[in-house]
Amino acid sequence: MTPQPTHLSIDDDWTYHGMRMVRMQNRLLALEILPERGANIFRVIDKSRDIDLLWKSPRVAPHVAAVHADFDDHWAGGWDDAFPGGRSCRNRYGDLLPYMGEVWTAPAKYQMHSSADEVALTTTVRTPITPAELTRTITLRAHESRFTLSYTLRNIGSMPFDYNWGVHPSLAVRSGMRFDIPATRGLVDEAGVDCSAARETSTTGRFCAGTT
């Protein structure tokens, strides 16, 4: 039996609205990442159905914004890391932390890795206010319709810091979609509500969380 071609590749020979784009793909999935925009995962494409699984703003193209810019005014969609937190607040030292964190406005250094069985992209962001270095590796294996994310968070300063890190994928929800999440307990919080008011919920095999 002739083996199926993997169509496994990774390269950065792409730009979108003037921004460098890294594309990684196999025969089932393609991912497009914007290193200059905090390593935003801009597209996750299901090749079999030719659809992008991530929501896009109809009005905003991806671009670089200032560190204290309003996320909602500049957000083009995709998948972001909200670190060191989702809400604008002051840290223990009195520094003002921006809404949706510091990663989305910071540039990421990146390294591409390729083998016969998988491709991977490692991105590293150093946040300008919080003395932190966030490293993420996206791995896509041949013949698999999924990808994995692994993270390393490092304190690069001399003082401790607090954080409430969140992963922020904006999914283009369509009729018939289902989310299977292994969590059975969680805190459900409505946007704009004090964290202390969040209520705990227990489920069986499914977990729905409010936005932050």
Pair of tokens at residue 114: 């390729």
Mean pLDDT score across all residues of the chain:
88
Chain segment 91-103, per-residue pLDDT in tens: 999 999 999 999 9
Interval 104-109 mean pLDDT: 98
Chain segment 171-195, per-residue pLDDT in tens: 998 888 887 878 777 776 665 444 4
Supply the pLDDT for residue 71: 96
pTM here is 0.85
Question: Which residue do the tokens 């929501």 mark?
Answer: 55
Q: Name the percent of the chain lying above pLDDT 90.
A: 76
CB proximity list for 75: less than 8 A, separation 6 or greater:
57, 60
Q: Name the percent of the chain lying above pLDDT 70.
A: 86
At residue 34, the 3 state secondary structure works out as strand
Beta strands in the chain (DSSP E): 9-16, 19-25, 29-34, 40-46, 51-52, 79-82, 89-90, 96-97, 109-114, 118-126, 132-141, 147-155, 166-169, 185-188, 199-202
Pair of tokens at residue 198: 């969040």
Supply the pLDDT for residue 83: 96
* Model confidence at 122: pLDDT above 90: yes
Interval 39-47 mean pLDDT: 98
Return the higher-pLDDT residue of 22 and 187.
22
Question: Which residue do the tokens 């090749």 mark?
Answer: 47
Chain segment 44-77, per-residue pLDDT in tens: 999 999 999 999 999 999 999 999 999 999 999 9
Q: What's the CA gap between 61 and 94, in Å, rounded?
A: 33
